Amino acid sequence: MENVTIIGTGPAGLTAALYTARAGLRPLVIEGMQPGGQLAATTTVENYPGFPKGIGGAELVLKMREQAERFGARHEMEEVTEVDFGARPLKVKLSGGRAIETRAAIIATGASANYLGLPSERKLIGCGVSACATCDGAFYRDLPVAVIGGGDTAMEESLFLANLVSKVTVIHRRNEFRASKIMGERVKSNPKIEIRWDTVVEEVLDVKKNEVTCIRLRNVKTGQASELAVSGVFVAVGHTPNSGPFKGHVALDEKGFIVTDHTRTDVEGVCAAGDVQDPRYKQAVTAAGSGCMAALEAERYLNTH
């Protein structure tokens, strides 16, 4: 039987792994199919303390993993399909069919990118529509692309793409960015980036079959429709928590975030950390901080039960 099973390997899961490993609990970490979470797909992380020149997201995750392993954390590349938190010990079922018995669990499964929900967008995911510039940007070298959204992700993706593509057009539904001021200013002052304010995407078109050629836009203030020729569409409109397997087993809020009190869920011995329980801050450093809190809470639980 495991002492503590940590589900997820973003900054929250890996920090929980480090702390529980250093406490001598030999944590088992279930990696999931996207090891490192969103951070692994981020280019340069400039706001994680301790790296004055920034650090690559994938490199940061790798270092966190090495640090946890040094103290005895073990990793398994599987996905959690089902849990039974009513049972003691807790039960965590993996995609390979194996069921793990564990005294405590920490959920750190993060969040996934949202899409606009247009049928034409769905059809062209992987054929010009993407939610990850770091993953797919290189396919659009010297071609025009659009980035949808006005948050920090949209800014980061636009700035990354501006170094590769011929032109970036940011499409935002309001007339001001949600993003932090510094990121918004960088986008506004980049000569390769144009911003279309108060504008929404109505359809993604593929005149060349299965290859994005253009998007149909509408100005929400004037109602005016237009078309913009682009080869790629990068959607950056927020995230949904990856709490699916835990629905009905721990309390979730109306948007699917796990409800926590100092990282404790409503089930004794089960904690949650990082973006899966944080609709507010969603930063690597806050995820890491909550991973530490969850580890300390799990340790306290194990010491008293």
The catalytic residue positions are: 132, 135-136
Residue with smaller CB distance to ligand NDP, 47 or 163 = 47
Does position 152 bind ligand NDP by CB under 6 A? Answer: yes
DSSP string, 99-129: EEEEEEEEE---EEE-----HHHHHTBTTTE
Does position 239 bind ligand NDP by CB under 6 A? Answer: yes
Residue with smaller CB distance to ligand NDP, 78 or 156 = 156
Stretch that binds ligand NDP, among 13-21, 48-56, 143-151, 216-224 (CB under 6 A): 143-151
Stretch that binds ligand NDP, among 27-35, 49-57, 61-69, 153-161 (CB under 6 A): 153-161
Q: Is 239 left (phi over 0), alpha (psi -120 to 50) or beta?
A: beta
Q: Which residue has its beta carbon closest to ligand NDP? A: 151
Residue with smaller CB distance to ligand NDP, 123 or 305 = 123
Nearest distance from residue 88's CB to ligand NDP, in Å?
Answer: 36
Residue with smaller CB distance to ligand NDP, 172 or 249 = 172
Crossing angle of helices 152-162 and 181-188, rounded to 10° = 30
Neighbours of 130 (CB within 10 A): 24
Crossing angle of helices 284-304 and 57-70, rounded to 10° = 20
Neighbours of 96 (CB within 10 A): 10
SS3 state at 242: coil
Nearest distance from residue 213's CB to ligand NDP, in Å?
Answer: 21
Does position 121 bind ligand NDP by CB under 6 A? Answer: no
Total number of residues that touch ligand NDP (CB under 6 A): 19
What does DSSP assign to residue 77?
-
Among 37, 137, 150, 232, binds ligand NDP (CB under 6 A): 150
What the block records as the tokens of 37 is 């979470």
Instruction: Look up tokens 């593929």; give the residue.
Output: 206
Does position 174 bind ligand NDP by CB under 6 A? Answer: yes
